[in-house]
Amino acid sequence: MHIEELTLPGTFLITPDQIPDERGTFYESLRSDALESATGAAFRPQQINYSVSRRHTLRGIHSVLIPPGQAKVVTCVRGALRDIVVDLRIGSPTFGEHHVNELTADSGRSVYVPEGVGHGFLALSDDSCICYVVSTTYVPGTQIDVNPLDPDLDLPWNCPDTPLISDKDAKAPTVAEAVRAGLLPRFSKAGTP
């Protein structure tokens, strides 16, 4: 697999080496040893989640308070997604900036999202399914939600119709409001909160 750092420090795109034959395709989607070597951070999966969405569903921007913190590897396992990560780490040289990836089931590509970086996606096809392999289990009351339509973020969702968005996400604070509320983590020189 190829693991390359994206524009946000500590965030990586994982592209598997696919082995096709007449039966189909085989590839390794995640190797903790390779990911840890590339990122310099330990990654031990503790929980796996799936989210299924219809076309033009917008989910995010989500992160987790530190502690407990939560790194994740996100993969589209069915359909297609416009996946966006947003640097929510106060003091980061890329605070408030984002990176966009198109994730499809056919590509097998994944994005590694470190602690303190927000994540969201737009489903580009009906019945799209995303898999989250996460480093910590769910702890009620620790989720950070930032409004995915925050005009200051100006994220390029490029949705041709009005996106389907949950009330929770639509009512989530902007980044500026989250900063004022003291919800966002600080960036360290090592690139992690």
The tens digit of pLDDT for each residue in 108-122 reads: 999 999 999 999 999
Tokens at 34, concatenated: 């390779």
Exposed (0-12), middle (13-18) or buried (19+): which is 149, by Cβ within 10 Å?
Answer: middle
Round to whole Å and give the CA distance between 121 and 41: 24
Tell me the C-alpha distance between 97 and 51, whole Å: 25
The per-residue pLDDT for range 59-105, each reduced to its tens digit, is 999 999 999 999 999 999 999 999 999 999 999 999 999 999 999 99
Known catalytic membership, residue 27: no
CA dihedral (142, 139, 132, 193) in degrees, to 10, reads 50
Q: Verify whether residue 98 is a known catalytic residue.
A: no
Percent of the chain's residues with pLDDT above 90: 97
Q: What is the pTM of this model?
A: 0.95
Q: Output the pLDDT for position 191.
A: 44
Partners of residue 72 on adjacent β-strands:
113, 134
**Which residue ranges form the domains of the chain, and what is each CATH number?**
2-180 (2.60.120.10)
Question: Which member of 98, 112, 119, 132 is catalytic?
Answer: 132
Residues 152-173: tens digit of each pLDDT: 999 999 999 999 999 999 999 9
- pLDDT at residue number 189: 65
Q: 130-149 pLDDT, tens per residue?
A: 999 999 999 999 999 999 99
Token pair recorded at residue 76: 């589209």
Listed residue (169, 161, 172) closest to 55, CA to CA: 161
The catalytic residue among 56, 62, 98, 119 is 62
Q: How remote is the C-alpha of 97 from its chain's centroid? A: 14
Residue recorded with tokens 């500026």: 176
| pLDDT band, very low/low/confident/very high, at 188 (cuts 50, 70, 90) | confident
When the pLDDT of each residue in the chain is averaged and rounded to a whole number, the result is 96
